[in-house]
Chain A
Amino acid sequence: MSGIALAAAAAAGAVLLAAGFVLGRLAARRGGRSADPDLGTPVERATFHTLHTASLAAPPLRAGLTEETARRAAGTLRSLLGTEALCLTDRGAVLAWDGPGEDHHRAHVPEQAAETLETGRSRSVHTDCADPACPLRWAVIAPLTGEDGVLGALVAYGSRESAVLVRAATEVARWASVQLELAELDRSRTRIVEAEIRALRAQISPHFIFNSLAAIASFVRTDPEQARELLLEFADFTRYSFRRHGEFAQLADELRSIEQYLALAGARFGDRLKVTLQIAPEVLPVTLPFLCLQPLVENAVKHGLEDRERGCRVTIAARDAGAEAVVTVEDDGIGMDPELLRAVLRGEHPAGSGIGLSNVDERLRQVYGAEYGLVIETGVGAGMKVTVRIPKYRQGVHRSSP
């Protein structure tokens, strides 16, 4: 019996040993945080960090060499070089200084840089500083060039003469020069971005923007805190609506955007607008066409509050139905003539009311097939209930669209 116990003990010991070995390996891996050959060693990461720092300096320089951009770029360039101090000049004056020693060195920069600005050649000079505590003993002056020749100079200060400082400063100056050359090209880009935003803006009803801003303005004096909240909602709402890529979104995100919309609408209509939301949380991750519910809600609010003194209630519900989610948007407003609505859905009343409905209907049928179009229950004076069925999964429908 003791032999058996011994064998069992030996086996248990072996397992414990193996476990210890594995744990040791795991701990070692964690300690040396990145033996991972695919995601990089610390050295590689440091390189990326350097390159990243360089890229941070790029945007300011892309705007051209001015006092403002030089000030913003100088700090990054200095941390990139790792020098004691760094100075940027244009052809006439010092634009920016980063690091210590500005008080007694800045004045000498123009005369030191004059030769470089003239010839376009880099120089390495002793600072002849009288203050023994000042760390700025040596300076490397490298030209910053653009399309039209030398635009200015980069002056890097070190505590001693160093080949590394020279090499680094000239390379950084060369790199900065490329950025400056590209600056001119970037200016044309700005104009295009503005045009794109103008085009996107057209997707949101201009009335809504004006009305929202007017409502916010009305709170600015009486309730600044509320006005601030609303402004943030407005910013979030427009940011979401202006989102540029991705044909689809998650229901949770769409609802958040609707929440902002309703907060803004509520600011305008006050107590007249009442909203109820019923959500089964398991359908929140459902993916659906971007901005396909917001027009339904906008429609409900419009119908609910049109021509009426008393308030209106809008009910939004999202329910789980197995492999589908069912979303309904309901209002108790003026409703709509079913015949007219049919005509709108057929596309025969392009300018009439309910154009949002027909648009959403078309998109849903395009994405999910004919049987997934809107189901609308309405009558004149009978309110309106719009039902949307969304399959939880459909080939090709996912959040990102690369």
Chain B
Amino acid sequence: MNQTYAVAAVTAVVLATVLIGALGLRISRTTSDFYVASRTVRPGLNAAAISGEYLSAASFLGIAGLVLVQGPAMLWYPVGYTAGYLVLLVLVAAPLRRSGAYTLSDFAEARLESPQVRRLASLFVVGIGWLYLLPQLQGAGLTLEILTGAPDWVGGLLVALVVTGTVAAGGMRSITFVQAFQYWLKLTALLVPVLFLLAAWYGDGAPRARFDAPAVLRGHTVVKVADTVRIGLDAPLTLTVTGSVDSVPYEKRTVTLAPGTHHVLGGTTLAFAPGAALPERVASGTDPLGWSQPLAGGRDGHQLYATYGLILATFLGTMGLPHVAVRFYTSPNGRAARRTTLVVLGLVGAFYLLPPLYGALGRIYAPELALTGSADAAVLVLPDRILGGLLGDLLGALLAGGAFAAFLSTASGLTMSVAGVLTQDVLPSRGVRHFRLATLLATAVPLAVGVFASKVPVADAVGLAFAVSASSFCPLLVLGIWWRRLTPPGATAGLLLGGGSALAAVMATRAGLAPEGWPHTLMAWPAVWSVPLGFLTMVLVSLATPRRVPSGTPALLARLHLPEEIIGTVPGPAHEVRR
């Protein structure tokens, strides 16, 4: 792959982000276009911005990678990411906007009139934000490693630096335009190459992607295994090995491996002859690469459980993501918030039609990525693999630019909201300087953790943040909006028990502490039990403390649900008519 084009594309995306962020204010120099400049953001623009912020590395790279390795069952990820907005739309969108809250902590305080609940909510905002930032930075590292061969921490550092710098310097002053631009960039970056790739695939005789049998390598293939893996063989396999297999060192030796499980040491190079069946990675319970394994099938019950775990986490978790909630503030009123969400559903859904195609093409043309542990790179290497030449380089560069747009948009959105909460509720005093400090803190922590944490598929890692959000903020928001008997003790207990247990399970899974078998599946997909736990705790403790129902509850619920024309003072109609 030609590095120059890719580096140029990434640089261009970074520059455009900084420039639009700094200059994208609405400016008027005459009073006649004053009105245009002071008009609130239209649902279309706002929806593109929300989608741009939402479509992270997990969507741009992760889904294709997972599909390549595990097959079409992984399509539950994009389905969940989309349907989450439907649940958010019907249960939360308009009331959340009408609450006037900017962050989820604001909502907790407004609804429960309790600074303690606010602080607890802030902790969860920061925790979920960091869980979500971590895979973004790791994904950036992987991308830059694939593109330039730089060490895997460089990409993460680059994204962290750009985001921290621009956010702290106030360069993200007009984040709406930046994010909207990045949505369309991401869509173009996936759409244009896939048209060429599909044409090439058709010209190749339209081979079918097979997920029910080991992938067959189409040409002579050399694979360098990055981390130590175990591979499983159904039939004897002859290949050339440089490195160590089953603790036996080889130096460019042709070996025939017997059927069964083999142990390949990290750094070993395997060379396959054309037509060879690619060995499959064998997941062990503590192997983080095995998280999505249950989704794809295998042991009884695990698949169904894991699928519902994913569905619950993504369907209910979207509403509690810190960077999603703050974007609703930009809508002028509740009705616009609803319409905006509807457009978001369209934009996000249209985007998610594309990644599965990359996954399927990757299974055909680059199946060996599954062995090396960098399946997330499938999207990036396909143009070079299928088309090659200048066209392949250019399309690869476009995809690299799109991937960086994905890292930057989600990371900057998350950093803004995490830093906002840190300034307001965690760091001692307020002011511009503290916001900068908070920005630094917001990116430094996940960056540092990212260096040490195990590498997992980015979509899997994002799924964990969804699970925590679904178990903590979903009960808080849904009960807060629709149930008048919620009390501060109930909310606190629910957040701690539901969100806390999900967080603990997720952390243990990430740290590799979960025992193999059912315990691992239960802890890797906690939403099935932690979401009901959160709801139940909130309801029961609230019912047990009926005297603690905040006095302003009826007034606040009225404000959340009444249309603005009834509650707010609407400026005179003459103005609108005249324009």
Contact = CB atoms under 8 A, between A and B. Distances in A.
A263 B567 contact: no
B578 A285 contact: no
Interface string A229-265: 0001001100110010110011011011001001100
A275 B26 CA distance: 14
A276 B28 contact: yes
Contact of B330 (A266, A282, A322): A282
A321 B41 contact: no
Contacts of A284: 38-41, 330, 332
A132 interface: no
Interface stretch (B171-179, B398-406, B527-535): B171-179
A277 interface: yes
Interface stretch (B106-114, B208-216, B368-376): B106-114
Given A281-B41, A281-B330, A400-B568, A322 B420 contact: yes
A323 B101 CA distance: 10
B37 interface: yes
Contacts of B423: 322-323
Contacts of B247: none
Given A235-B574, A323-B103, A399-B569, A282 B110 contact: no
Given A281-B39, A287-B100, 13 more contacts: A235-B574, A249-B569, A259-B34, A262-B31, A263-B31, A278-B37, A279-B27, A282-B174, A282-B330, A285-B329, A321-B173, A323-B424, A399-B568
Nearest to A323: B420
A395 B113 contact: yes
User: Interface centre among B31, B109, B176, by most A CB within 10 Å?
Assistant: B31
27 contacts: A235-B572, A239-B574, A243-B569, A255-B38, A256-B35, A259-B35, A277-B28, A278-B27, A279-B25, A279-B26, A281-B39, A282-B176, A285-B330, A285-B331, A319-B170, A320-B173, A320-B174, A321-B432, A322-B420, A322-B435, A323-B103, A371-B430, A393-B106, A399-B100, A399-B568, A400-B567, A402-B555
Interface residues of B, number: 53
A399 B330 contact: no
Interface string B555-569: 100110000100111
A392 interface: yes
Contacts of A399: 100, 564, 567-569
A319 B172 CA distance: 10
A281 B41 CA distance: 6
Contact of B332 (A250, A322, A395): A250
A274 interface: yes
A398 interface: yes
Contacts of A182: none
A393 B101 contact: yes
Most A CB atoms within 10 A — which of B100, B102, B110, B421? B100
Q: Which of A232, A322, A392, A402 has the most CB of B within 10 A?
A: A322
Given A245-B569, A397-B100, A400-B568, A281 B40 contact: yes
B547 interface: no
Nearest to A267: B31
Interface size class of A (residues with CB under 8 A): 35 or more
Given A243-B569, A275-B29, A259 B331 contact: no
A282 B420 CA distance: 15
Contacts of A278: 25-27, 37
B419 interface: yes
Interface in A379-402: 392-393, 395, 397-400, 402
B361 interface: no
B103 A259 contact: no
Contact of B38 (A277, A287, A319): A277
Contacts of B559: 398, 400
A280 interface: yes
A171 to B, nearest CB: 31
Contacts of B110: 393, 395
A322 B31 contact: no
B22 to A, nearest CB: 11
Contact of A323 (B102, B558, B575): B102
Given A320-B174, A323-B103, A285 B25 contact: no
A320 B327 CA distance: 12
A348 to B, nearest CB: 28
B325 to A, nearest CB: 11
A280 to B, nearest CB: 5
B575 A236 contact: yes
Interface string B327-344: 001111000000000000
Nearest to B109: A395
Given A285-B332, A398-B100, A322 B419 contact: yes
Given A252-B332, A259-B38, A282-B176, A321 B27 contact: no
Contacts of B173: 280, 319-321
Contacts of A276: 27-29
Contacts of B416: 322
B373 to A, nearest CB: 35
Contacts of A393: 100-103, 106, 110
Nearest to A313: B29
B551 interface: no
Interface in A187-244: 232, 235-236, 239-240, 243
Contacts of B568: 246, 399-400
Contacts of B571: 236, 239-240, 243, 253, 256
Contacts of A259: 31, 34-35, 38
Nearest to B101: A393
A240 B420 CA distance: 33
Interface string A280-313: 1110110100000000000000000000000000
- Most B CB atoms within 10 A — which of A250, A281, A285, A395? A281
B34 A277 contact: yes
Contacts of A249: 569
Name the residue among A277, A371, A392 with the largest chain B CB count within 10 angstroms: A277
A364 to B, nearest CB: 15
Contacts of A235: 572, 574
Contact of B435 (A317, A321, A395): A321
Interface string B41-52: 100000000000
Interface in B292-339: 329-332
Contacts of A236: 571-572, 574-575
Q: Counting chain B CB atoms within 10 Å of each CB, which of A256, A262, A399 scores highest? A: A399
A232 B329 CA distance: 31
A190 B131 CA distance: 63
A228 to B, nearest CB: 10
A256 B30 CA distance: 14
A399 B560 CA distance: 12
A154 B306 CA distance: 76
10 tightest A-B contacts by CB?
A392-B102, A255-B38, A393-B106, A323-B420, A322-B420, A400-B567, A246-B569, A259-B34, A393-B102, A239-B572
Contacts of B329: 282, 285, 392
Contacts of B331: 285
Contacts of A274: 29
A239 B329 CA distance: 27
Nearest to B575: A236
A212 to B, nearest CB: 14
Given A262-B34, A275-B30, A321-B435, A281 B113 contact: no
A282 B569 CA distance: 21
B13 to A, nearest CB: 22
Interface in B412-435: 416, 419-421, 423-424, 430, 432, 435
A319 B27 CA distance: 12
Interface in B83-107: 100-103, 106
Nearest to A274: B29
Which one of B25, B423, B559 has the greatest number of beta carbons of chain A within 10 Å?
B25
A375 to B, nearest CB: 11
A253 B40 CA distance: 10
A287 B567 CA distance: 14
